[in-house]
Amino acid sequence: MKSTENKPEKRRNKPAGKTLTLALLVLSPLFFACNTDSGDDISHEIQADAKPIELRMMEKVETDNDFALDLFKATYKFEEKDNIFISPLSVSMALSMTLNGAEGETLEEMKEALRAKGYSIDDINEYNKSLKKALIEVDKSTELTIANSIWYRNDITVYDNFINVNKDNYDAEIKTLDFSSPDAVKQINGWCAQQTKDKIPEIIKEIPGDALMYLINAIYFKGIWTSRFEKKDTNKEDFYTEKNVSTGKVDMMHQTEAFDYFADEYCRYLRMAYGNKAFSMVVMLPNDDKTVDDVISNLDSKRWNDAMKYMSGRDVSLSFPRFKAECDYEMQKNILPDMGMIVPFTNYANFSNMCTPAPKIGRVIHKTFIEVNEEGTEAAAVTAVEMLPLAAMPSEPVIIEYKVNKPFVFAIRENSTGVILFIGKMGKVE
């Protein structure tokens, strides 16, 4: 292992914090809609109703939900599969750890993608630290683990400040590893499998020869419905496409109970609570004259917040399918660039606070699992940010040759103001 070196720690100013009483929803950890199957029973003792979590920086929660909705919409935009299931919280945690190595335009684009402009890195770290702790502790009858790790090649130099801030704020496990070892992939995948109880046994298939580092977040969630479905009431029923064509029989669960409910012009919202009601699943069922595309394209923070605000208890005869899904994405290809994150994936990336040699992000790999049955929900997600070295940039010669021997464009301007007086193109010179 090569010894690390310290870089001067840069202090970033922090705006004054605010306190938020937050009724936690499934929106932050998980989004769903992805093979249908049954699963094992989930058995936990349900406690008294959860006390609302109090967090600093209320507006940061709002921007987190902006990120969650925008990430979901971007994934929906570029994925043609029938089912989509992502964990915005997992992606946010992995990218936030990576953020601690960024500077300049790289830093600003990543904050833009995370919908965290206006916040210092210190704010983001402090917020994620308190959020992680609060989510884990709010419901003892719901099993939730959030784990982070950093794996880096044993022949590179990783800066102490970068390591320490991620250990302190994200409780990240730090692992040095011989990436060329046949056992390296097995070790990384083994950690992911352990943290997700084998629901996501593999996050990478191989390690590229030039890979420098992996920053990984893993989330595991297992909760029982506050109002559970009876297995005797489950039967085979048709599931239809939006064109009212049956896709076949599925296991449809049934119960009649009071649920929080709201309807707007696009869909009907239903909230099903887990455990002590700290967590819930919110279902958005398109109205008869609308489609899933209508719902998603019009889903934003205001519409979401209004629905959550105006939900009220109603007696509902609920039919809900058992389902199981596994999804995977490489978010660097379209999804994150669509959200404003471009430079971090290029040779112009600036992660000068991370390690030597200078890196860029190669891939953002995201895998998820969900299973819903009569007892409750089991879900998991892993996000891995893969760091690669910058490609060698060609050096300019001492004397630059500039031979104007082909068509060109030119302009005549006033230098102090920049006003262009004339502009033209020469395609032929006589």
**238-254 pLDDT per residue, tens:** 998 888 888 888 999 99
Query: What is the average pLDDT across 403-423?
Result: 54
Quote the number of domains for the chain. Answer: 2
Residue 24, pLDDT > 80, answer: no
Residue 186 located in a structural domain = yes
For residues 157 and 266, state if they share a domain: no
Residue 47, pLDDT > 90, answer: no
Residue 423 located in a structural domain = no
Q: How far is CA 317 from CA 29, 38, 307, 389, in A?
A: 27, 21, 20, 56
Residue 15, pLDDT > 70, answer: no
- pLDDT value, residue 22: 35
Residue 8 located in a structural domain = no
Between CA 176 and CA 160 the distance in angstroms is: 14
- Check if the beta carbon of residue 326 is closer than 8 Å to that of residue 381: no
For residues 159 and 243, state if they share a domain: no
Residue 425 located in a structural domain = no
Q: Which CATH number goes with the domain that contains 242?
A: 2.30.39.10
The pTM for the full model equals 0.84
For residues 210 and 108, state if they share a domain: yes
For residues 204 and 317, state if they share a domain: no
For 117, the domain range is: 19-223+324-389
Peptide bond into 357 cis (omega under 30): yes
For residues 381 and 239, state if they share a domain: no
Q: Name the least confident of 12-16, 17-21, 120-124.
A: 17-21
Query: What is the average pLDDT across 170-178?
Result: 97
Q: How far is CA 327 from CA 200, 205, 251, 277, in A?
A: 10, 16, 21, 27
For residues 291 and 343, state if they share a domain: no
Residue 417 located in a structural domain = no
Residue 142, pLDDT > 70, answer: yes
Residue 150, pLDDT > 50, answer: yes
Residue 3 located in a structural domain = no
- Which one-letter amino acid corresponds to residue 157? T
* Averaged pLDDT score across all residues of the chain: 84
Q: Which CATH number goes with the domain that contains 112?
A: 3.30.497.10
The token pair at 362 is 């190669």
Residue 372 located in a structural domain = yes
Between CA 335 and CA 71 the distance in angstroms is: 7
For residues 191 and 308, state if they share a domain: no
Query: What is the average pLDDT across 112-132?
Result: 94
